[in-house]
Amino acid sequence: METIGKVRRMKLRDKLSNSPITKLTGLSCNMVKKWPKAPPRDIAPRHRRESPEGKLSASEAAQG
């Protein structure tokens, strides 16, 4: 988690490009590209998954 913060800081605050970040951290170019775009893990998702209707839910509503 600390490395993600360092990469984000270098990319967003220090305005470094991917190449210097890869040389400083030893990470691959793909990781440096993906990490600043990824959402932080400690933030809860904004959407809620709806529970799918079961096969019996339509017939239960018709009977009741």
> What's the pLDDT at 14?
92
Residue 21 located in a structural domain? yes
The count of structural domains within the chain is 1
Structural domain of residue 10, as residue ranges? Answer: 1-39
| Sign of the dihedral defined by the CA atoms of residues 1, 27, 6, 4, in that order | negative
Cβ neighbours for 12, distance < 8 A, ≥ 6 positions apart: 36
Largest CA distance in the chain: 67
Q: Please give the share of the chain, as a percent, with pLDDT higher than 70.
A: 61
Residue 51 located in a structural domain? no
> What's the pLDDT at 2?
79
The tens digit of pLDDT for each residue in 16-38 reads 999 999 999 898 888 888 877 77
Tell me the CA distances in angstroms from 8 to 14, 15, 20, 27, 58, one per residue in order: 9, 10, 13, 13, 49
Residue 33 located in a structural domain? yes
Is the pTM higher than 0.75? no
